[in-house]
Amino acid sequence: MVEGSQNIDALLTEDRRFPPPPAFQEQANVNDPGVYEEAAKDPEGFWARFAEELHWFKKWDKVLEWDPPYAKWFQGGKINVSYNCLDRHVATARKNKAALIWEGEPGDRQVYTYWDLYREVCKFANALKGLGLKKGDRVTIYLPMVPELPIAMLACARLGAPHSVVFGGFSSESLRDRINDSEAKILITADGGFRRGRVVPLKENADEAVKGAPTTEKVIVVRRTGTADDQMNPDTDVWWHDLMEGQSQVCPAEPLDSEDILYLLYTSGTTGKPKGIVHTTAGYLLGTYATTKWIFDLKEDDVYWCTADIGWVTGHSYIVYGPLSNGATSIMYEGTPDYPDRDRFWSIVEKYGVTVFYTAPTAIRTFMRWGTEYPAKHDLGSLRLLGSVGEPINPEAWMWYWEHVGRSNCPVVDTWWQTETGMILISPLPGLTTLKPGSATRPFPGIDAEVVDEGGNAVDLGQGGYLVLKKPWPAMLRNIYGDPERFVQQYWSRYPGIYFTADGCKRDDEGYFWLLGRVDDVINVSAHRISTMEVESALVDHTAVAEAASIGRTDDVKGQAVVAFVTLKEEVPASEELMVELKQHVAGKIGSIARPDDIYFTAELPKTRSGKIMRRLLRDVAEGRALGDTTTLADPAVVEALKERYDEDEA
Ligand code: WTA
């Protein structure tokens, strides 16, 4: 049986339908239902037509070379992502159009036109060159949500230096591991960032990380909070603003091969060590360009806002590369939705006239909890299209979003994809698709997705199974950085030649896809991936801990919450203080997103006779369910005892 965070039976009975509003349909970038069939017949021709809309220094010779699991898209082509996001627009009437409207948490604002952004990117690319950075060298970027973040990414892309963005909420240790895995030469960070009115001390974390990261030659520091003026190391550290002074505003974009690496992005899988997902140049650009254009329906005068952090793939694809390659105006916001008050997002929507808004179900559920008065305080009349990403959206949250944010006339696109897929793969097309609350509906044209059983056979409509992808797509991952074996093993070995997503999924009678959550050991906390193994290794790293198991417990707001079961070393007594200390220890090792909500001390963990921890039973215990099948347990008494203790705690 496929495990999931939603109740399959509840999904079966969802009978609300929302066809595209006629006015929306009429103006949509795509409103011809024939696109699906056309793309299915000739996917390569379909992608190549989008590719014609991009700028190429040299056109490709071959659209696709597929030697499973290795795909090469647009071989022989020469292209540059930064050129496509900037120079192409600067050469047109878009040159003085706002590309990025950035708002800091304290309320400060900066607007970059395409021309401004082009100049800043060229200057910074020249600065990087001046530091000796060459094509192919890796650059780690550990920044808050400030304009220098996309500027740095686009400068790297301009030179063909792969960037590796590390989310600013990660710990120094997580940062260090990622720098070391990619052997990055340069680290770009800031003194700090603002979050909920406080300063996040990025420079301190960066300094700590660099101590154990010997490949780092230079640390470039953005001055954002003014809190690290006395922490600059004269040997390695240089201020961003000093570096930019006097740089030329001209830096020709490097003509790169289609398959040159654009970036690495680390994500959690089933082991303790995050893996560097490799994305390349032409196919990735094309995939984000095409999906942004058709799914977000962007028009010249749209104001688009994706609320993700650029530290995650959603920000890479749908704040930076997709919208900028489309010449869109984007909002970028530094802080949290409840600062200074719980209406901050809606005040931003009203203030800038946001038309297309893209966020995560966990945020929507938080807004639901806060109450309708916050969106109601603002005029949200500019909105015309809403999006959701990161985890399954439950129908109640979908309906709330539809009614209280979309005033019951904005299509909601529930977009399914992964760090590995690079681009959205399952989603409505807002001018075509009849929506069902809670369903990501159907694959994007040209995408061959299927739900299969253990044996790899497609399940009948009305059934559930594993989501797989049967054909390559342009923005697909090309490898795991430095670990090609794991790439094959993780994604391509369960069903050879077919991509295994590790998501459970159900098809309804009409063939709609209903995502059910992960079927592996990945916990999805507020739409962020954490592996149970990462949490467990952080816990056993503490001197008091003998053994640990962690699971994702269903959570009304976060989707899943991290819960850990811990066996202490013999001489160590359990205590409230120790519990707090262990939670803090995990946050310190990985980052606060991984902090367990609850830790339970237990004398033993439930294991199979072969010694495997039975997380399924721990989940039953944590969620207060009757215990599932315990026959394979080495000692069923262990879990019974655990359940008794736990039920007492809850009472
Ligand atoms: C989950 C985020 C249901 C899924 C873009 C996937 C979703 C994982 C959806 C990838 C959605 C993402 N409906 N589940 N619309 N979008 N997921 O790599 O489990 O951070 O495997 O990429 O998030 O998370 P990642």
- Measured in Å, residue 527 CA sits from the centre of ligand 1 at 7
Question: Whose C-alpha lies nearest to ligand 1, atom 7?
Answer: 391
- For 433, what's the count of Cα atoms within 13 Å in the CB-facing half-sphere? 29
Mean pLDDT within 153-161: 99
With bands split at pLDDT 50, 70 and 90, how would you rate the model's confidence at 611? confident
Across 432-456, average pLDDT: 97
Q: How far is the CA of 586 from the centre of ligand 1 (A)?
A: 23
Domain ranges of the chain: 521-650
Structure tokens that stand for 382 in this block: 């500019």
Q: Is the pLDDT of residue 636 over 90?
A: no
- Any ligand 1 atom below 6 A from CB of 390: yes
Q: Is 417 in the pocket of ligand 1 (CB under 6 A)?
A: yes
CA-closest residue to ligand 1 atom 13: 392
Is residue 380 over pLDDT 80? yes
411 CA from centroid of ligand 1 (Å): 20
Tell me what the mean pLDDT of segment 615-624 comes to. 88
Instruction: Compute φ and ψ for 610, nearest 5 degrees.
Output: -85, 5
The pLDDT confidence band at residue 9, using thresholds 50, 70 and 90, is low
Give the Å distance between the CA of 304 and the centre of ligand 1. 21
Which positions ≥6 away from 157 have C-beta within 8 Å? Answer: 80, 81, 82, 85, 163, 262, 263
503 in ligand 1 pocket by Cβ < 6 Å?
yes
- Whether 111 has a pLDDT exceeding 50, the answer reads yes
Cα of 418 vs centre of ligand 1, distance in Å, is 5
Pick from 306, 524, 525, 593 the residue to mutate for probing ligand 1's pocket: most ligand atoms within 8 Å of its CB.
524
Q: What's the mean pLDDT in 317-342?
A: 98
Query: Is 484's pLDDT higher than 90?
Result: yes
Between the CA of 457 and the centroid of ligand 1 the distance, in Å, is 23
Query: Which atom of ligand 1 sits closest to the CA of residue 515?
Result: 3
Q: Are 138 and 264 in contact (CB under 8 A)?
A: yes
530 C-alpha vs ligand 1 centroid, how far in Å?
12
Pocket of ligand 1 contains residue 414 by CB under 6 Å: yes
**CA 360 to each of CA 363, 366, 511, 517, 518: distance values in angstroms, whole numbers, following the listed order:** 5, 10, 24, 14, 17
Residue range 257-298, pLDDT digits in tens: 999 999 999 998 777 788 999 999 999 999 999 999 999 999
> Ligand 1 centroid vs 517 CA: distance in angstroms?
8
Which sign does the torsion angle of CA 51, 52, 58, 62 carry? positive
Which atom number of ligand 1 is nearest to the Cα of residue 528? Answer: 20
The architecture of the domain spanning 521-650 is 2-Layer Sandwich (3.30)
- The alpha carbon of 173 and the centre of ligand 1 are apart by a number of angstroms equal to 25
Position 1 pLDDT exceeds 50: no
Say which residue the tokens 């199974």 belong to. Answer: 465
Instruction: Tell me how far the alpha carbon of residue 417 lies from the centroid of ligand 1, in angstroms.
Output: 5
Cβ within 8 Å of residue 171, ≥6 positions away:
205, 587, 588, 589, 590, 591
Calculate Rg over the CA atoms of the chain: 24
Span from the CA of 389 to the centroid of ligand 1 (angstroms)? 7
pLDDT in tens, 381-390: 999 999 999 9
pLDDT tens digits for range 293-306? 999 999 999 999 99
Q: Among the atoms of ligand 1, which is closest to the Cα of residue 414?
A: 15
**Residue 268: CB within 6 Å of ligand 1?**
no
For the residues of 143-154, what is the DSSP string, one character each?
A: --SSTHHHHHHH
Mean pLDDT, residues 479-496 taken together = 96
Band (28; pLDDT cuts 50, 70, 90)? very high
The residue whose CA is least distant from atom 12 of ligand 1 is 390
* Cβ(529) – ligand 1 distance below 6 Å: yes
The pLDDT mean for the chain works out to 94
With a 6 Å cutoff on the Cβ, whether 267 touches ligand 1 is yes
Q: Is the CB of 306 under 6 A from ligand 1?
A: no
Question: Cα 456 to chain center, whole Å?
Answer: 28
CA 501 / ligand 1 centre spacing (Å)? 10
Which residue puts its alpha carbon closest to atom 14 of ligand 1?
A: 391
Q: What is the pLDDT of residue 198?
A: 96
For the cut 50, the answer to whether the pLDDT of residue 5 exceeds it is no
Percent of the chain past pLDDT 70, that is, above it, reads 97
Residue 624: pLDDT band with limits 50, 70, 90: confident
Candidate of 359, 514, 515 to mutate for ligand 1, largest count of ligand atoms within 8 Å of Cβ: 515
Q: Is 438 left (phi over 0), alpha (psi -120 to 50) or beta?
A: left
Does ligand 1 come within 6 angstroms of the Cβ of 391? yes
Does residue 560 have its Cβ closer than 6 Å to ligand 1?
Answer: no
* pLDDT above 80: residue 6: no
pLDDT of residue 2: 46
Query: Across residues 81-89, what is the average pLDDT?
Result: 98
What value does the mean pLDDT take over residues 488-510? Answer: 96
pLDDT at 53: 98
Question: How many angstroms is it from 368 CA to the middle of ligand 1?
Answer: 21
Of residues 215 and 533, more confidence is placed in 215
What's the angle, vertex CA 436, arms to CA 433 and CA 442, rounded to 5? 50
- More confident: 39 or 643: 39
Report the relative pairing of strands 218-222 and 62-67 from DSSP bridges.
unpaired
What average pLDDT does range 67-89 have in this prediction?
Answer: 98
Residue 213: pLDDT over 70: yes
